[in-house]
Amino acid sequence: MDGASAQSRSGLEVRVSLAPEQRGNGPVMARVTVTNLTGAAVEISETELPSEDMETAQFVVMRNGQQVRYEGPHIKRGPVMAAEMVRIAAGATLTYDIELSRAYDLAQDGSYSVEFQSRVASSAQPSLRSARQDVRLYGRTLATNGISTTGLSSLTSLISYSKCTVTQQTQLVAALNQAATYAAQSKAYLAGNTLGDRYTWWFGGVTSANATIVRNNFTAIDNAFATKAITVDCGCKKTYYAYVYPSQPYKIYVCRAFWSAPLAGTDSRGGTLIHEMSHFNAVAGTDDWAYGQSAARSLALSNPLRAIDNADNHEYFAENTPQRQ
């Protein structure tokens, strides 16, 4: 395998290696190594390190100069806990073998480039990154490599459950009703003539183009809660709030932090469902550029185009706590 490396923060070098040419429809594998080049141990959150489970969009994949969309899970996370910190000894190397084709559409022949980029949960800036690695793929077919692009076509408001207790189902009905209320209220606000502090706080300065995107996003979110068949899966035991696969509407996986969240307010159950619904390609197709109110606010100030594409900004706009006009 060839490799491409770059030195990131805290003296950690990240290298991505792939076979320069690959033929056929087999899985596309990348090896990622993280080496501590300093003379002391370094601590880093496991969410910043490569994930062999492909739990987040940690790669920038380009095909013939066009970015390939990430189709793996989009996860709403809480603050990093002490148990999630990884200690890398001086001079040590961590190695990860990643199946890129599990979460990126590599079904077409072409010239690809792959770059590792992870972000701190509270920042939109990469914390670890590699140099770009080029690879040529031949003999691919127009399949989805296991990435489902089939959504639910029902126009009913039926809710179905998987692995949920009766108590959880009752709580989910309340959460879905709260999310639907948030979506309807947000849509109504955006339909008004004046976009005030509530809009600019979470999405930056008002421009016609950006405001139209946000309006369309909340119109689609409102429509999804009102008319689509939603499935909620309660089987996740991770510490996350929830996650979805953006190409698989309208199935939402709720996790441990979801159940300890309040029904309404900041980082609530209702708001979490807004966050997750916004991720679906059939709805708003948002990304996770930053997590948490502080980072979302900073994103609105520094990069409105990313703010209007960030799921947490949509959630916090909908929750509107503290209340803004």
Q: What is the pLDDT of residues 168-185, one digit of tens each?
A: 998 999 999 999 999 999
DSSP 101: G
Q: Buried b vs exposed e over 199-214: b needs ≥16 C-beta within 10 Å?
A: bebbbbeeeeebbebb
Q: What is the pLDDT of residue 124?
A: 52
Strands 133-138 and 110-119, how do they pair?
Answer: antiparallel
Long-range contacts of 194-199 (CB under 8 A, 24+ apart): 196/324, 196/325, 197/324, 197/325, 198/317, 198/320, 198/324, 198/325, 199/317
- pLDDT for the residue 123: 55
> What is the percent of the chain where pLDDT is above 90?
69
- How far apart (Å, rounded) are the C-alpha atoms in residues 117 and 48? 9
pLDDT, position 57: 87
> What is the largest distance, in Å, between two alpha-carbon atoms of the chain?
60
Give me the chain's average pLDDT, please.
88
pLDDT in tens, 13-71: 999 999 999 888 888 999 999 999 999 999 998 888 998 888 888 999 999 999 998 88
Mean pLDDT of 134-141: 87
pLDDT of residue 141: 66
At 61, give phi and psi (nearest 5°).
-115, 125
Residues 139-171 have pLDDT tens digits of 886 444 333 333 333 333 479 999 999 889 989
pLDDT of residue 193: 75
Would you say residue 273 has pLDDT above 90?
A: yes
| Distance from the Cα of residue 120 to its chain's centroid | 13
Q: How far apart are CA 288 and CA 309, in angstroms?
A: 8
Among residues 227, 224, 230, which one has the least CA distance to residue 164? 230
DSSP 287: B
Q: Does the global pTM surpass 0.85?
A: no
Q: How far is the C-alpha of 127 from the C-alpha of 22, rounded, in Å?
A: 30
- pLDDT score of 310 more than 90: yes
Nearest C-alpha neighbor of 211 from the set 194, 225, 236: 194
Give the least confident one: 42-51, 59-68, 268-277, 295-304.
42-51
Domains and their CATH numbers in the chain:
12-138 (2.60.40.2970), 159-319 (3.40.390.10)
Q: Is 134 exposed, middle or buried (0-12, 13-18, 19+ CB in 10 A)?
A: middle
Single-letter amino acid code for the residue at 227:
T
The residue annotated as part of the active site, out of 48, 71, 115, 276, is: 276
Q: Catalytic residue at 276?
A: yes
